[in-house]
Structure 1
Amino acid sequence: MAAPTIFSNPLEKWIFHKTKESVFLVDFVPKKDADGKIEEILNRLETVPEDKRQKLTFEDRCCTGFVVDDKSQELKILCSAHCLDHLFTSENPISAQEIGDLYDINIICDHYECSFRKDKTPDKIRYYSRANIVQIDCDKDLILLNVSKKNVLAYGKNGRACRHSHPALVPSKRHLEPMEKVLMVSWPPFRPRTVALGKVSHCDREYADTSKTNLVGYTMTLVEVNIQSEPGGSGAPLLDADANFTGVLHGGADGCSWFISLPDICQALTSWGILTQ
């Protein structure tokens, strides 16, 4: 047996393997007849430069999501609202129903993607499962989706449901502290299982500490972590040593990332009936 090395990282590998089945790619696709309404919202809010608005009327918006409830015949998936924040401000929120009228919401699970990549058939087509948005918190940058378990597709031509489990991640019971190691599993577009390890820098940043502007009016507390994040990774879970989530990725820059704090997440999930007080 080979001698262990400091590069073995057994705990980090265990956290990744325990949580990877819970992570989904989420793709918001503008509906064919929604471009006019999206453009109207963009022009009314004026939070996006005028020369960039047209692209946003027809562009897909991707993020990462993860399961927070698997008790019923449906999965509840938590993700970030950040990819759609051109459509709302805290003073001008958008409802879940309005987003559902503007976008089709497509998801893929880890099992489907793994099977898809193992199939070397040329010109194969990636099929997505359809999810529904049920809640949004524009102030805290959070969205809740649901999807029937029978509608989570397995890879193949017969459209059968995925038979593997997609276990719900649960909130951390640990008290987060600076210099504590944490792990993130994200899914930027076409880059599944993007894993990063980092250390907590600060546990309760105000939004003004992280950005010179706040056009949306976000009010959440942020956890600052020295960890690399990628476009499309917003919504990824920040995981503790027990493989429980302690934050949700909001965004990052220059090797530093900011996560929606656990109290803000739990408050939203409690108000939505996912957690009990």
Structure 2
Amino acid sequence: MAAPNEKWLYEKTKDSIFFINILPRHDKHGAINDLMKTANHVEEGKREEFLNGDGHCATGFVVENGPDLLKILTCAHVIEHVYSATDPVSTHDCNRVFITQVLCDHSELSFRRPGQNAHPQRVYAKGRIIGISCEDDLLLIQVPREDVVDLDEICMRNHPHLTFPSTQPAAFDVCAMVSWPPLRHRTAVIGRVSHTSRSFDDLGQENPVGYRMNLMEVRIGSELGSSGAPLVNGNGKVIGMLHGGFRDAFSYFLSLNDIMLFLAHRGVVVIRKFLLLLEP
């Protein structure tokens, strides 16, 4: 595959990226603790840290851009303390015990604009979790467009949805990622696909949640808070979503198959031709 134009990939992707923060509701600590007991993989002495603080953050990207609503895909493991693969949590319980906040790229640009001092704090939009896969680390968030603001006004700029290719990635394909670790929005990196399907056993990692998906191995850098970022190919199509980085040189991504099936089963339009190849 020809080397992509990195700047073009950056420009095509950046407006679709959101910062995600999910924090516990102050009046639901008991319910969250009950969910943690059911999931039963967080030590009792460590559960308190999930009840206090500012929540857990990730990167997300737009997968559907409707006239009234945005749908944003991210990783579920920001709330993995309340679920396991064998004891999944429902979207109802997620929304009952957590507050989901999102921030768009344009709002961050305005917030950081030199001389901007009228708004000392970022203004988040509240989202609602509408889909979760506790086996595959996928979370779908819905946000009213009118709630996505640029400082004190509705953000009128475009938040384009990213699309998917009709073919699978392959080893040595060039790829790129734009993510949003805390305070470092528009973090852009280039890499290459190393292997398209690693199991957790291949990685030698503990897996207390019981995740069952295989992961694509990519020689690319990632940071805490980058999880949920899209990996795009040279045509700007999403070929994976960041699960995490376990080793110095490599990061690991949820597969195109798992992402597309998850979205299709939750009403997000993806490539029908490709889905026909995935269905048994």
Structures share fold, TM-score greater than 0.5: yes
Residues 249 and 208 from structure 1, CA distance in 2 versus in 1: closer, same or farther, beyond 3 angstroms? same
Report matched runs for 1:87-98 at 5 Å.
87-98=82-93
Q: Which residue of 2 aligns with 1:124?
A: 120
Offset of residue 10 of structure 1? 7.1
CA contact (8 A) 1:74 1:146 kept: yes
CA contact (8 A) 1:266 1:275 kept: no
Report matched runs for 1:42-57 at 5 Å.
42-57=36-51
Offset of residue 215 of structure 1? 1.3
Q: Which residue of 2 aligns with 1:210?
A: 203
Q: TM-score, normalised by structure 2?
A: 0.90
Cα distance in 1, alignment partners of residues 266 and 37 from structure 2: 31
2:117 aligned with 1:107: no
Work out which of the residue numbers 32, 45, 68 in structure 2 matches 1:73: 68
Q: Which residue of 1 aligns with 2:34?
A: 40
CA contact (8 A) 1:36 1:57 kept: no
Report matched runs for 1:200-239 at 5 Å.
200-239=193-232
Q: Which residue of 1 aligns with 2:136?
A: 140
2:68 partner amino acid: Q
Q: What do the CA deviations read for 1:222-275 (whole angstroms, capped 9, x no partner)?
A: 100011111111100001011111001001122311000000101101101102
CA contact (8 A) 1:73 1:148 kept: yes
Query: Which secondary structure state, in structure 1, belongs to the residue aligned with residue 156 of structure 2?
Result: coil
Offset of residue 119 of structure 1? 4.4
2:13 aligned with 1:16: no
Q: What do the CA deviations read for 1:96-134 (whole angstroms, capped 9, x no partner)?
A: 110111111111100000010004345711111111111
1:265 partner amino acid: I
Q: Which residue of 2 aligns with 1:176?
A: 169
Offset of residue 72 of structure 1? 3.5
The Cα RMSD (Å) is 1.6
Q: Which residue of 2 aligns with 1:3?
A: none
2:265 aligned with 1:271: yes
Cα distance in 2, alignment partners of residues 124 and 63 from structure 1: 22
Q: TM-score, normalised by structure 1?
A: 0.91
Offset of residue 71 of structure 1? 3.0
2:186 aligned with 1:193: yes
CA contact (8 A) 2:162 2:238 kept: yes
CA contact (8 A) 1:229 1:255 kept: no
Offset of residue 34 of structure 1? 1.5
Which sections of structure 1, spanning at least 5 residues, go unmatched? 1-8
Which sections of structure 2, spanning at least 5 residues, go unmatched? 273-280
Cα distance in 1, alignment partners of residues 231 and 7 from structure 2: 15
